[in-house]
Structure 1
Amino acid sequence: MSHKILLLPGDGIGPEIVAEARRVLDVLCECHGLRCELEEAPIGGAGYDAAGQPLPAATLDLARAADAVLLGAVGGPRYDALPREVRPERGLLAIRAELGLFGNLRPAILFPQLAAASALRPEVVSGLDLLIVRELTGGIYFGEPRGVRTLPDGQRQGFDTELYSESEIVRITRLACRAAEQRQRRLCSVDKANVLESSGLWREVVEGVVEQEFPHIELSHMYVDNAAMQLVRAPKQFDVIVTGNLFGDILSDCAAQLTGSIGMLPSASLDEQGKGLYEPVHGSAPDIAGQDRANPLATILSVAMMLRYSLGAGELAERVEAAVAGVLADGLRTADLQGGTRRVGTREMGEAVAERLRAG
């Protein structure tokens, strides 16, 4: 079976890091039996340059027809003066909405070779391997009503609405439980049920789904403020965390700082059928674009997530992850990574991973 994969390089360092991910996919096809058809299309600022929209209609059509989408990054200062509705970031929000990508998976894995680069002591983070499952299309970011109004006393007041329906909570809980089944079967649901009605419903529905459909999953609950503290106090206590859009946004960035560099963090955004958009967590880094300085490993690890979650090729995902660990063990480091024995650029790092895959 041949898979259709759409590559969206985007802006800034996006084309450089996606080129290295493509190199890895080519080796998997040449040496390890992966069959795929690769296409490229513009998004973000590149989409605006090509078609006057951050998500051109032709790009969306290709994304709908693909089995998986790999994105580099969007945005850059040259687009800051554009009207808000056509800025590059709108392309990313639009493709998530159009493809129904409700579940965001962000692993935080500390490779042993990078333990000294973490913000925490090595003994606290060594062996860290946790996964945050964030609900991506609901909550306060999308709730209505929202806006700014003038009160009778003349003051302006901003307001947003936190909303979650039972069906939204059910589907993100199922996704998190399925992920936990592939790991240590432990799930921590994070909310603020002591003060928020939406969190009260969240906790009730999560408990019901786990009890009825996943009784073999060990479920715990934690308030979000405590969860943030525990992530920096004892992060290895977590296996899978499931939470809403706002809390997930904050906690996943907090977890990112435990791994030594944001340049090591992949992510997946999935629909209900398991089709996904995969991208590194870092942004477009326009200040280093075109300088062969960007770390491609988060994008390459996003390829591993794509193989595992959308293409049903878990063994190939493990090969990619092992190749990344291997180049780090060899002492190769891009500019964002501490330690090592040899500083390399974007292309050389990608070539090193590809060579390890080619060798076995």
Structure 2
Amino acid sequence: MAHYRVVLLPGDGIGPEITAVARQLLDVVAQRYGFQLDFEEQPIGGSAIDMIGDPLPEATLTACKTADAVLLAAIGSPRFDNLPREKRPETGLLKLRSGLNLFANLRPVRTVPALIDTSSLKREVIEEVDLIVVRELTGGIYFGRPKGRIEVNGDERGFNTMTYSASEVDRIARVAFEIARERNGRLCSVDKANVLDVSQLWRDRVDAMARSHDDIDVSHMYVDNAAMQLVSDPRQFDVLLTENLFGDILSDEAAVLTGSIGVLPSASLGSENPGLFEPVHGSAPDIAGQDKANPIAMVLSAAMMLRVGLKQNSAADDIERAVDTILSSGFRTNDLMSDGCIPLGCRAMGEQLLKAL
């Protein structure tokens, strides 16, 4: 029997509620397919600040480094907004990604037929959308040096540095090319090469790699145009490759194509350490503890963990089919509600998922 050690990071807000649902489903498919998941919970974000005073305790990072996969729910709370930046929950997440050297963030965006009318965009625009954003995660302006705030001639100036090396671009581009080869063979690299030197380097390196990938149709698009095209003609995209800041913005924009950010998973991968799997939504502290949370994105993140991180494809298929089944049957949490559907809380959605499973 295969054994996998999974670190669970429930985090803040609705995190513990949606983690409990995902864990139940993981236990079922593990038993069904004859493998064992050994779970270990660790604090991160605001919960870690409350317990230890640090958004990423050393014990949490150590546990994650030695795991087979890490499943994170959500972090963040307005309670911590007045703390210094290095002490806020979000810093814990950035340090976790950096500490695990998770340089590739994958965000699949696929239209769910049962939810298509919940989108703010027209049905004819978003039908059959199926794309993935490949975002570089450990470089760019979020991590570049120098950065800070200084006094200049009696005026305060803030500054950050957007910087990439050729090897950093090659590393993330290689991931995107491999994914494009497994999908529909189309890759669009997003940059701002008409203005930024760092983007021109990015484009040059992507073009260099394209020469050894004749089977991939490679195009380039400026980030402002890409933002417009995502909401006007999203079906043109298969794999979107971009750097950290642009990817942060575009992946959230792409998320709304499905009608709700509450149904989208993500993965952050490196070359050596375990992958980190998490829903793209936030901690929703305004509904925490009220049994109103939507667990679907967390459940699909668990399925993505099984497929990408643990190579348990059949188990992942079962969980994804269970999600499709309950949505087709009209079960909804409040964020997904539409006429004629059946409203359920977080725990009841978990029960329906277990029945479908």
TM-score class normalised by the smaller sequence: over 0.9
Aligned residue runs from structure 1 range 1-360, under 5 A: 1-152=2-153, 154-212=154-212, 214-273=213-272, 275-339=274-338, 341-357=341-357
SS at 2:336 equivalent: coil
Q: Which amino acid aligns with 1:287?
A: D
Whole-angstrom distance in 1 between the partners of 2:83 and 2:243: 31
Give structure 1 stretches of 5+ with no counterpart: none
What is the CA distance between 1:275 and its match in structure 2?
2.6
- Give, as a single letter, the amino acid of the residue that structure 1 aligns with 2:269: L
Range with greater deviation from structure 2 (223-232 or 82-91): 82-91
Please say if residues 141 and 161 of structure 2, whose CA atoms lie closer than 8 Å, have aligned partners that are also in contact.
yes
Aligned residue-pair number: 355
In structure 2, distance between residues paired with 1:47 and 1:157: 33
The root-mean-square deviation of aligned C-alpha atoms, in Å, is: 1.4
- 1:183 offset after TM fit, Å? 1.2
Q: Which amino acid aligns with 1:219?
A: V
Measure the CA separation in 2 of the matches of 1:87 and 1:150. 25
Q: Give the C-alpha shift of residue 354 in structure 1.
A: 2.1
The 10-residue stretch of structure 1 (282-291 or 72-81) with the greater mean CA deviation from structure 2: 72-81
CA distance in 2, matches of 1:243, 1:141: 14
- Alpha-carbon distance, 1:243 to partner: 0.2
Letter in 1 for 2:189: S
Worse-superposed segment, 142-151 or 303-312 = 142-151
Q: For the Cα contact (< 8 Å) 2:100–2:273, is it kept in 1?
A: no
**Residue 104 of structure 2 contacts residue 268 of structure 2 at CA under 8 Å; is this kept in 1?**
yes
TM-superposition CA deviations, 1:133-190 (whole Å, max 9, x none): 00011111111122233334x3333222111101100110111112222211211100
| Aligned partners of 1:274 and 1:309 also within 8 Å | no
Instruction: Single out whichever of 48-57 and 288-297 deviates more from structure 2.
Output: 48-57
Question: Which 10-residue stretch deviates more, 288-297 or 157-166?
Answer: 157-166
Q: Is the 8 A contact 1:4 1:68 kept in 2?
A: yes
Deviations 1:47-69 (A, max 9, x none): 12222211112211110110110
- Is the 2:29–2:318 contact (alpha carbons within 8 Å) kept by the matching residues of 1? no
User: 1:95 is paired with a residue of what secondary structure?
Assistant: helix
What is the DSSP-based 3-state SS (H/G/I as helix, E as strand, rest coil) of the residue aligned with 1:327? helix
Distance 1:262 1:223 in 2: 25
Contact 1:23–1:351 at 8 Å: present in 2 too?
no
Distance apart, 1:194 and its partner CA: 1.2
The structure 1 segments of at least 4 consecutive aligned residues displaced by more than 6 Å after TM superposition are: none
SS at match of 1:275: coil
Distance 1:194 1:84 in 2: 33
Q: Which amino acid aligns with 2:214?
A: P
What is the DSSP-based 3-state SS (H/G/I as helix, E as strand, rest coil) of the residue aligned with 2:43? coil
Deviation for aligned residue 1:86: 2.1
Whichever residue aligns with residue 237 of structure 1, its letter is Q
Q: Is the 8 A contact 2:30 2:315 kept in 1?
A: no
Partner SS for 1:120: coil
Q: Is the 8 A contact 1:114 1:338 kept in 2?
A: no
- 1:2 aligns to what SS in structure 2? strand
Identity of aligned residues (%): 56
Whole-angstrom distance in 2 between the partners of 1:34 and 1:220: 42
Whole-angstrom distance in 2 between the partners of 1:124 and 1:197 = 34
Kept in 2, the 8 Å contact 1:274–1:310? The answer is no
Secondary structure of 1:258 counterpart: helix
Q: Distance in 1 between matches of 2:150 and 2:56?
A: 31
Q: What is the TM-score when the length of structure 2 is the normalising length?
A: 0.96
Distance 1:335 1:210 in 2: 45
Query: 1:77 Cα shift?
Result: 2.7
Q: Which runs of no fewer than 5 residues in structure 2 stay unpaired?
A: none
